[in-house]
């Protein structure tokens, strides 16, 4: 293939997405409370009001048809506790982490006693969700 043709087939650098390591490095350098979380996975609400995150077993359709047993569910349900469910339901893609912490501290004083403690718990929880790739952040997409 000609070099000139090959260069035109490659997208420009500003269209290329960052890989996960570069995103994690950018996340470490930024202020976590100023980021806006966005859900990547779907969810369902159990009868107790708690949340199950629905993670597909296979992302590729052909692999799911080949390897997935017919009678098994197509998703894996990840069960969240009460505080995790409240945080998950507050994620809407518009609200920043600091605003989520303030809302949770005001609405649930029994679960979240003070704003600084709430900020540490929520940022740890959201960083774990990000590392498991259940959420992403609008600023580093």
DSSP E strands in the chain: the ranges are: 37-39, 42-45, 51-56, 75-79, 135-137
pLDDT band at 1 (very low <50, low <70, confident <90, very high): very low
Q: Is the pTM of this model over 0.85?
A: no
Of 50-54, 94-98, 129-133, the poorest mean pLDDT is in: 129-133
**CA-to-CA separations, 19 to 23, 37, 128, 135, in angstroms, rounded:** 6, 18, 18, 15
């Amino acid at each position: 293939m000609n070099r000139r043709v090959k260069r035109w087939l490659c997208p420009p650098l500003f269209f290329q997405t960052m890989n996960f390591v570069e995103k994690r490095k950018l996340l470490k350098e930024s202020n976590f409370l100023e980021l806006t979380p966005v859900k990547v996975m779907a969810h369902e609400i159990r009868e107790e009001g708690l949340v199950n995150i629905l993670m597909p077993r296979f992302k590729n359709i052909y692999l799911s048809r080949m390897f997935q047993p017919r009678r098994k569910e197509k998703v894996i349900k990840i069960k969240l506790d009460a505080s995790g469910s409240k945080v998950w339901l507050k994620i809407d893609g518009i609200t920043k982490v600091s605003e989520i912490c303030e809302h949770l501290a005001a609405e649930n004083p029994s679960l979240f006693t003070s704003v600084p403690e709430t900020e540490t718990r929520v940022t740890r929880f959201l960083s774990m969700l990000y590392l498991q790739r259940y959420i992403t952040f609008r600023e580093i997409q």
